[in-house]
Structure 1
Amino acid sequence: MSDYRFLLSGKWVGWLLLACAAAALSLYLGGWQMDRNDHLVGENTKVTQNYRAEPLTGDEASAQFAAHDERLSWHPVELTGEYLPEDQVLVRNRPQNGRVGYEVLVPFRTEGGDVVVLDRGWIPTGSAANGMPDEVPEPPAGEVTVTARLRPGEPVVDRGAPEGQIATIELEELQERWGRSTGTAAYAEVFAEDPAPSVAPAPPPEPEIDSGPHLSYSLQWYAFAALFFVAYGYAARQQARNDEWDRQYAAEMERRLSRFYDEDGNYVGEGDEELVIRQMEMADDMPAHLKSLMRPKPQRRRHRPTWEDEEDALLDALEGGGRLEHHGR
């Protein structure tokens, strides 16, 4: 472990803290993506289970507009009552099938006296330059039975709208706008009316079941969190190897110097001393990537002699025996 004492230096402690911070950020982003994936999975489950379920009716249906159970989003309800067309309002900037248009909201009074918000469907913008619809279909007059799917209200947005229009389906704002006690927990998207009008807005399209990329993004962020520490460990290993190579290089330079100078520092080599000094200075001033070329390659430790070593030892023994025989004569 002495080879890794440099990890206690300020520089390497800083790199470790940076890796920890980057990993923590990656874990946070991975969790955020996982939460989005879980939410999307939950919404897909609601669509799958509720979209074609049998409609809720009577008080059970009306109660959902005052206290909506989010597990019943997209669930059909069947309501009987009458539209209140004098308070009709358009929701602007609603795309459908590649066009921009409006959704038509109308309050609806049920047989039990509750007033709920119904979205009768979508209409396109008209041909006029002002972007207004050419015509808004009137709701059926008198008693009507509607079948619609429950939807939660939308959040408030920071933008206005012209007279008779709104920018978002914010149910509490609609209650204040109409001056009526309406349900503020949910509204419903109409897909059938009885009696059916001759002209009606287009019903909303069926929602797509899409898992999205959030799960894969989450796994990528978790992988990044681990890779920061892998990179830190790899860099530490390389630093330890470089330090070992530098020690080997220093030992090699000391060995080379011993060929030209004795213990007292006197030059004992052959040739011009100035040339030797110049070569040593050039080697010492080499960049690291070039200096490494002069580093000796680490030798693998042999746990057992090879057949070549055994053959050399045998020859040495034979030669040694021959020499002894010769001296004995």
Structure 2
Amino acid sequence: MTAYRFLLSGKWLGFFLLACAAAVVSVYLGGWQMDRNDHLVGENAKITQNYRAEPLTGAQAAEQFAVHDERLTWHPVELTGRYRPEEQVLVRNRPQNGRVGYEVLVPFRTQGGDIVVLDRGWIPTGEAANGMPDEVPAPPPGRVTVTARLQPGEPGVGRGAPEGQIASIDLEELRERWDRPIGTAAYGEVFAEDPAPAVAPAPSPEPETDSGPHLSYSLQWYAFAALFFVAYGYAARQQARNDAWDRQFAEEMERRLARFYDEDGNYIGDGDEELVVRQLEMADDMPAHLKSLMRPRPQRRRSRPTWEDEEDAMLDALERQSR
């Protein structure tokens, strides 16, 4: 383990803390994506269970607009009563099928006297430059039986709107606008009216039950958290290998010095000592990325010595005889 003693240095402790911080952030983002996936899974389960269920009727249906059970989102309700078209409101900036338009909100008084908000559907913007719709289909007059799907109200967006319009389906804002008690826990997306009008807004399209890429994103973030430590371990291993190569280089330099100097430091080489010293100093002062070019490469083991080995052995023998 002495080869990895550098891990206790301030530099490598900083690298480790940085890897820990990056892993913590990745785990947090992975959990956030997993929460989004769980939310979509829950919403898809409600759509699958409720979208085509038998409608709630009577008081059971009306009370959902005052106290909405989130488990019944998308569940159909059947209401009988009368529209109040004089208080109709358009919700602006609503896209559908690649176009921008409006949702048509109309208050509806049930037979029991409750007033609820119904979204009759979508209409496109008109051809005029002001972006207003060309025509808003009128609701059926008189007594009407409406079938709609429950939806929770939307939060306010803090933006104004022209007269007769609203920026979001903020039920509290509608209650203040109409200045009368209404159900503010939910509204209904209409998909059937009896009697049916000659012209009606387009109903809301069936929602998709796709959970999206959140699960895969979550797994990727968790994988990143592990990879930070893998990268740290790989970098530490490379540092240990580089240190080992540096030690081998130092040993190689000592071996070269031994060929030119005896134990007392006397020059025993054949060439010019100044040239030898210059070459050795130049090699010793090389940057690390250039020193790697001089590091000994691992040699393959051979069963028989090569001619180069034999030549080196002969030269060493002659040198010993000459001494």
- TM-score after normalising by structure 2: 0.91
Task: Report the CA distance between 1:223 and its aligned residue.
Answer: 0.8
Pairwise mapping of residues 165-314 of structure 1 onto structure 2 (< 5 A)? 165-297=165-297
Match of 2:127 in 1: 127
How far apart, CA to CA, are the structure 2 residues paired with 1:307 and 1:33? Answer: 60
How far apart, CA to CA, are the structure 2 residues paired with 1:91 and 1:75? Answer: 22
What amino acid is aligned across from residue 104 of structure 1 in structure 2?
V
Task: Report the CA distance between 1:15 and its aligned residue.
Answer: 0.7
How far apart, CA to CA, are the structure 1 residues paired with 2:276 and 2:124? Answer: 91
Task: Report the CA distance between 1:213 and its aligned residue.
Answer: 1.1
Task: Report the CA distance between 1:72 and its aligned residue.
Answer: 1.1
Note the alpha carbon deviations across 1:29-60, whole angstroms, 9 max, x for none.
11111111111111111111111111011111
Task: Report the CA distance between 1:92 and its aligned residue.
Answer: 0.5
Task: Report the CA distance between 1:252 and its aligned residue.
Answer: 1.2
Task: Report the CA distance between 1:299 and its aligned residue.
Answer: 7.0
> For 2:113, what is the secondary structure of its paired residue?
coil
Report how many aligned residue pairs link the two structures. Answer: 305
> For 1:196, what is the secondary structure of its paired residue?
coil
> For 2:151, what is the secondary structure of its paired residue?
strand
How far apart, CA to CA, are the structure 1 residues paired with 2:159 and 2:83? Answer: 28
Match of 1:111 in 2: 111
Match of 2:312 in 1: none
How far apart, CA to CA, are the structure 2 residues paired with 1:4 and 1:13? Answer: 12
What amino acid is aligned across from residue 102 of structure 2 in structure 1?
Y
> For 1:105, what is the secondary structure of its paired residue?
strand
What amino acid is aligned across from residue 17 of structure 1 in structure 2?
L
> For 1:294, what is the secondary structure of its paired residue?
coil
Q: Which runs of 5+ in 1 are unaligned?
A: 310-329
How far apart, CA to CA, are the structure 2 residues paired with 1:298 and 1:99? Answer: 69
> For 1:189, what is the secondary structure of its paired residue?
strand
How far apart, CA to CA, are the structure 1 residues paired with 2:148 and 2:252? Answer: 87
Q: Which runs of 5+ in 2 are unaligned?
A: 306-323
Note the alpha carbon deviations across 1:62-101, whole angstroms, 9 max, x for none.
1111111111111100001111112110001111122111
How far apart, CA to CA, are the structure 1 residues paired with 2:117 and 2:56? Answer: 16
Note the alpha carbon deviations across 1:167-216, whole angstroms, 9 max, x for none.
00011111111111111111010011111111111111111222211111
Task: Report the CA distance between 1:308 and its aligned residue.
Answer: 6.3
What amino acid is aligned across from residue 197 of structure 1 in structure 2?
P
What amino acid is aligned across from residue 234 of structure 1 in structure 2?
Y
Question: Does 2:144 match 1:144?
Answer: yes
Match of 1:80 in 2: 80
How far apart, CA to CA, are the structure 2 residues paired with 1:244 and 1:95? Answer: 65
Match of 2:28 in 1: 28
> For 2:292, what is the secondary structure of its paired residue?
helix
Match of 1:51 in 2: 51
How far apart, CA to CA, are the structure 2 residues paired with 1:129 and 1:289? Answer: 68
Q: Percent identity?
A: 83
How far apart, CA to CA, are the structure 2 residues paired with 1:298 and 1:18? Answer: 35
Match of 2:60 in 1: 60
> For 2:260, what is the secondary structure of its paired residue?
coil
Question: Does 2:11 match 1:11?
Answer: yes
How far apart, CA to CA, are the structure 2 residues paired with 1:74 and 1:174? Answer: 21
How far apart, CA to CA, are the structure 1 residues paired with 2:86 and 2:236? Answer: 75
How far apart, CA to CA, are the structure 2 residues paired with 1:110 and 1:82? Answer: 7
Task: Report the CA distance between 1:307 and its aligned residue.
Answer: 7.2
What amino acid is aligned across from residue 227 of structure 2 in structure 1?
L
Task: Report the CA distance between 1:285 and its aligned residue.
Answer: 2.0
Task: Report the CA distance between 1:297 and its aligned residue.
Answer: 3.5
Task: Report the CA distance between 1:218 and its aligned residue.
Answer: 1.0
How far apart, CA to CA, are the structure 2 residues paired with 1:172 and 1:42? Answer: 26
- TM-score after normalising by structure 1: 0.89
Match of 1:312 in 2: none
What amino acid is aligned across from residue 15 of structure 2 in structure 1?
W
Note the alpha carbon deviations across 1:212-232, whole angstroms, 9 max, x for none.
111111111111111111000
What amino acid is aligned across from residue 116 of structure 1 in structure 2?
V
